[in-house]
Structure 1
Amino acid sequence: MPESNPSSQSPSITDIKRIAVCGGSLGRERRSFIRGQVVDIGITDLMRAEGLWDLVTGLFSGDEKRITPFLDFSLAPVRKPVLRIEVYNESGTKIFGSGKVKADEDGFFSCEIRDRLPVGKHTFHVILEGLDSFRQYSKDLAHLNSTEDSILGKTTIVGKGKLRILAEEYSGYIVTSDIDQTYLATDIHSGKGKFSTLFETPEQKRALPGMPELYHQLRKGLNNAPLAFISASPHFFRRTMLATIATHKIEIESLHLKYLEGTIKGVFDKVVDTIFNPIDFLQNGFKPAWSRTKKFLGASYQSLFDQMAYKLSILLYDRVFQPTNSKEILMGDNTESDYMIFTLYQLICLGKIEGDALEDYLYDLNFLGRDAITRDAARRIRKLGEENVRIHGRLNPVTLSLINQTEKGPKHKEMVKLVKEALPENIWEQVFVKEDAFFGTESALGMSVILHAKGHLEFAQVFPVVSEMIGKWVDGKVIDEAQILGQLEKLTVPEFADGDRKIVIDLLEKAFKG
């Protein structure tokens, strides 16, 4: 066999760098929230240069083109790091400093800020002060003793992130969007598709035609309205997602991803608690206890893949930190349960389902054959709902909810039927009298038409979205002018947007002929 060429081999890992991976945050003057995870990453000699690290994305210069979720899957979480959070305004002046922030055994940390911060776009620094874990300290010591001149014990700022603060009286818009099948053309319906996402670089991830431009135009049309992404992808997708979003030049305020290990750990803790507290487990008899256990294990397993409890919790949690009079535009798709989640979110904010009734309803909910909300998750959602009503009153912040109708899910009328059947009797008819809780439509084109009809986009802003769609590949075909016009003719839009659809067709026909 020929000898391998050392120069062709990848550089060897020679040291460890400690980084904090954060997703940005959006808050209001009197209340904001910062979160992230501290992990260790193996680095080469070249990667020791501090000036070549982007502490916001946690990536070394050039890695934004090579990073994949699989590479981050095995990143070692730092056990119980002790941190401090500092916030700086755009001029570099420090405007907030926290006390000690202790992360958990998986390196996840959070810091709620109750100090009044000035309105604007700020940057927060995550500063490592020490460790609260003898096991982690011993591991670090072993590495330092075996490595000459390691940077592990020298770095203090391990990460940065963006923090945008809105005025308490802010009455503008906040856009919250799903990612898979709303922004990115991710194959989430086959095992092969899900597996392949682990190995995709940011440049290999394809955006749905027109969606990046739609996000750009929305920010312009809504006077720099904040944009938040929520995805049920695992948390180790974060650096790849941040790089993907940057590749498409989309400005965001926050990115939420799912902590799958938390669900697994919850199952383990439940089993341990049952073993050591059998009397509590059997207090109402063996049969009810076994029934609760089956429900918990089944719901926990399904929650690894379902989005209901996770997304509903995130929407409600984010709402706690939003100004009372801010208005939300939600964007999702029909491949999972976004339309049901968006509906429940509005009903909970309005206080139409609350207390024990809400908790029992969520626990018993079986939507699309999924029984994915545990009792603990139902209690958490109930608590968040009650906190929102206490802070904001019984107010629905959602002014528009858009659902991308793919071929893998139901159309608008079927979605409405499914939600009505799943909700308590007559509650849909009582609340959504003038307009439905959501509107199903096709692609960035349909969303643009509805957004224009609602006054959020000018006609001139729809055309760049169309322009970005032309020439893109979809289902093995290249989108051209004829396909755009054909799609517009068949577009699913609510009655109030039908006139706008026809005007867009006329204007595009003239533009294409010209």
Structure 2
Amino acid sequence: MSQEPNTSQPIITDIKRIAVCGGSLGRERRSYVRGQVVDVGITDLMKADGLWDLMTGLFKGDETKITPFLDFSLAPVRKPVLKLEVFDSSGKLIYTSGKIKADEDGFFSCEIRDKLPVGFHDFQVVLEGLDSFRQYSKDLAHLNATEDSILGKTTIVGKGKLRILPEDYQGIVVTSDIDQTYLATDIHSGKGKFSALFETPNQKQALPGMPELYRELRIATNNSPLAFISASPHFFRRTMLATIAKDNIQIESLHLKYLEGTIKGVFDKVIDTIFNPLEFLQNGFKPAWSRTKKFLGASYQSLFDQMSYKLSILLYDRIYLPTQSKEILLGDNTESDFMIFTLYQLICMGKITGDELEEYLYKLNFLGRDAITRDAAKKIRLYAEEIQRIHGPKNPVALTMINRTSHGPSEADMIQKVKEALPDGMYESEFGKKQAFYGTEGAMGMALILEQYNFLDTNQILSVIAGMIGKVWEGKLVDESFLLGKIDELTLPKEVETTRQKIKESLASAFTS
């Protein structure tokens, strides 16, 4: 006997083509936009354009339902041909790009060299065609099989925000890690990493006080830009954008890791070796085998490590920032953030350059990992040289703070690990009078250090701490007694002791009144 089909779940009846971008930050004479074009299965209800938020690439109402796992299987569009249009706050068209050809996985980028007005702009990504016969054939087969499909009718496939800073901007740009810096993601177990794939934005919990810290910092620094960098895979993007919006955090850009790029790089290397064996063996089998092991080992580690990826993103973003802008960097001690942020400062200062930089990165083993391939080292070197050409040798970082979780080293141990990994004496000579970073515990510790650097005031510190009450911090409920005990345990520089006592007295007074 035949069974009636289950109609309780909406039936996918068509495909919608979208560009997922996530925003960008640049300066008057140089900026860029990038994203990915993918196909999303939709129901009849979802065919109406007015029900789509093209800024996030989400159907309205799905902001609380989206998970990374749902996006893992999104079909990338092969070699779409695109055009970028930028509009100012009044809706006036201020820039139109030439043709943009995306790659086989739908990833595209557009560098803007035209001078754009300072301010907050919107951009839209227009689909003009395809440069792939395989994709065209796939589309044609779908159109022939589906009546009244919207696939061939949509031209604007995505939108985003583009903020342009003045060339003489001397303010702050904040760059923050996500997991264990902003979000309380369990990245220490296989179960935790697996569970993260199925978490909706409502299930993703911020570390106590961090949303408030980002908001207060933006207010205190005259609407300074905020960029997030995460080593999470790129298919987390729509979920992350919805999570950030849920926490009422305004950002300029979100960088996520393109894992398929690493896998494709390994595949291309193997193919190149097969078809060019003489070049592979030109210095003998043993050196060739050694290089291959190094490449495969570093490529495997880079799937999980952050060193090469985050350092590249920081340097690449610096190219597009004004020379006099200052940066605040936020990370955590569960991976390599403290080493990455230190290297970034040294490279910007021009303390390691050229062949020396490339060889150092290629041979760098940090926390028992070889995570930088020769190709990645070359790319980082190119970014470093471009930064020196544009900005000259200078340290753009005003302050670096590392969230000291129970899963990583203490501040002293972090500093020691960095010293051992850098060339002999470099840390002492360049950071003898000022630490490269401060390790402290959570939003409370960061807020106190920010006050010492005149970025926050006492009332803003108290606002951050108030936002922590009722949340869970490393398995413990944050209440009044927890906060009064925690403030005494914070790892802080000696010069922050006066502020610590002042805030403790304010909390005690508030809790007893």
TM-score of the two chains, using structure 1 as the length reference:
0.99
Partner of 2:410: 411
CA offset at residue 440 of structure 1?
A: 0.1
Any idea what SS the aligned residue of 1:209 has? coil
Partner of 1:107: 106
Question: 2:383 aligned with 1:384, yes or no?
Answer: yes
Amino acid of the residue matched to residue 36 of structure 2? Answer: Q
How far apart are the structure 1 equivalents of 2:26 and 2:9? 42
How far apart are the structure 1 equivalents of 2:500 and 2:5? 61
Any idea what SS the aligned residue of 1:158 has? strand
Cα deviations across residues 389-411 of structure 1 (Å, max 9, x unaligned)? 11000011001000000000001
How far apart are the structure 2 equivalents of 1:184 and 1:119? 32
Amino acid of the residue matched to residue 149 of structure 1? Answer: D
* Cα distance, 1:102–1:506 mapped onto 2, change above 3 Å: same
Question: 2:78 aligned with 1:82, yes or no?
Answer: no
How far apart are the structure 2 equivalents of 1:84 and 1:259? 22
Q: How does 1:253-264 map to 2 (within 5 A)?
A: 253-264=252-263
How far apart are the structure 1 equivalents of 2:475 and 2:428? 42
Partner of 2:425: 426
Any idea what SS the aligned residue of 1:18 has? strand
Q: How does 1:129-278 map to 2 (within 5 A)?
A: 129-278=128-277
CA offset at residue 240 of structure 1?
A: 0.2
Q: How does 1:37-52 map to 2 (within 5 A)?
A: 37-52=36-51
CA offset at residue 495 of structure 1?
A: 1.6
Any idea what SS the aligned residue of 1:187 has? coil
Any idea what SS the aligned residue of 2:317 has? helix
Cα deviations across residues 33-57 of structure 1 (Å, max 9, x unaligned)? 0000000000000000100100000
Cα deviations across residues 260-315 of structure 1 (Å, max 9, x unaligned)? 00000000000000010111101111100000000000000000000000000000
Partner of 2:57: 58
Partner of 2:300: 301
CA offset at residue 2 of structure 1?
A: 13
Partner of 1:35: 34
Question: 2:453 aligned with 1:458, yes or no?
Answer: no
Amino acid of the residue matched to residue 125 of structure 1? Answer: Q
How far apart are the structure 2 equivalents of 1:372 and 1:494? 32
Any idea what SS the aligned residue of 1:228 has? strand
Amino acid of the residue matched to residue 289 of structure 2? Answer: W
Q: How does 1:341-356 map to 2 (within 5 A)?
A: 341-356=340-355
How far apart are the structure 2 equivalents of 1:320 and 1:314? 10
CA offset at residue 374 of structure 1?
A: 0.3
Partner of 2:71: 72
How far apart are the structure 2 equivalents of 1:323 and 1:486? 42
Amino acid of the residue matched to residue 367 of structure 2? Answer: L
CA offset at residue 5 of structure 1?
A: 8.3
Partner of 1:495: 494
How far apart are the structure 1 equivalents of 2:22 and 2:475? 34
How far apart are the structure 2 equivalents of 1:262 and 1:461? 42
Amino acid of the residue matched to residue 226 of structure 2? Answer: L
How far apart are the structure 1 equivalents of 2:472 and 2:121? 38
How far apart are the structure 2 equivalents of 1:211 and 1:75? 31
Any idea what SS the aligned residue of 2:197 has? helix
Partner of 2:21: 22
Partner of 2:363: 364
Amino acid of the residue matched to residue 189 of structure 2? Answer: S
How far apart are the structure 2 equivalents of 1:433 and 1:367? 22
Cα deviations across residues 4-56 of structure 1 (Å, max 9, x unaligned)? 7845x211000000000001000000000000000000000000010010000
CA offset at residue 475 of structure 1?
A: 3.7
Amino acid of the residue matched to residue 71 of structure 1? Answer: L
Amino acid of the residue matched to residue 183 of structure 1? Answer: Y
Cα deviations across residues 375-428 of structure 1 (Å, max 9, x unaligned)? 000010111011101100001100100000000000100000000000000111
Amino acid of the residue matched to residue 314 of structure 2? Answer: L
Amino acid of the residue matched to residue 421 of structure 1? Answer: E
TM-score of the two chains, using structure 2 as the length reference:
0.99
Please provide the CA RMSD for this pair: 1.1
How far apart are the structure 1 equivalents of 2:475 and 2:26? 42
How far apart are the structure 1 equivalents of 2:15 and 2:227? 32
How far apart are the structure 2 equivalents of 1:360 and 1:164? 36
Unpaired runs of 5+ residues, structure 2, are: none
Any idea what SS the aligned residue of 2:241 has? helix
CA offset at residue 477 of structure 1?
A: 2.8
CA offset at residue 3 of structure 1?
A: 7.0
* Cα distance, 1:134–1:488 mapped onto 2, change above 3 Å: same
Percent identity between matched residues is 72
Any idea what SS the aligned residue of 1:12 has? coil
Cα deviations across residues 115-157 of structure 1 (Å, max 9, x unaligned)? 0000000001000000000000000000001101000000000
How far apart are the structure 1 equivalents of 2:268 and 2:150? 36
Amino acid of the residue matched to residue 394 of structure 2? Answer: L
Deviating runs (4+, > 4 A) in structure 1?
1-7
CA offset at residue 497 of structure 1?
A: 1.4
Amino acid of the residue matched to residue 380 of structure 1? Answer: K
How far apart are the structure 1 equivalents of 2:339 and 2:475? 31
CA offset at residue 490 of structure 1?
A: 1.0
Amino acid of the residue matched to residue 204 of structure 1? Answer: Q
Any idea what SS the aligned residue of 2:467 has? helix
How far apart are the structure 2 equivalents of 1:480 and 1:303? 40
How far apart are the structure 1 equivalents of 2:3 and 2:95? 58
How far apart are the structure 2 equivalents of 1:198 and 1:47? 24
Any idea what SS the aligned residue of 1:199 has? coil
How far apart are the structure 2 equivalents of 1:150 and 1:3? 29
Partner of 1:332: 331
Any idea what SS the aligned residue of 1:149 has? coil
How far apart are the structure 2 equivalents of 1:106 and 1:481? 51
Partner of 2:448: 449
Mean CA deviation greater in 236-245 or 474-483: 474-483
CA offset at residue 93 of structure 1?
A: 0.2
How far apart are the structure 2 equivalents of 1:245 and 1:49? 26
Amino acid of the residue matched to residue 247 of structure 2? Answer: H
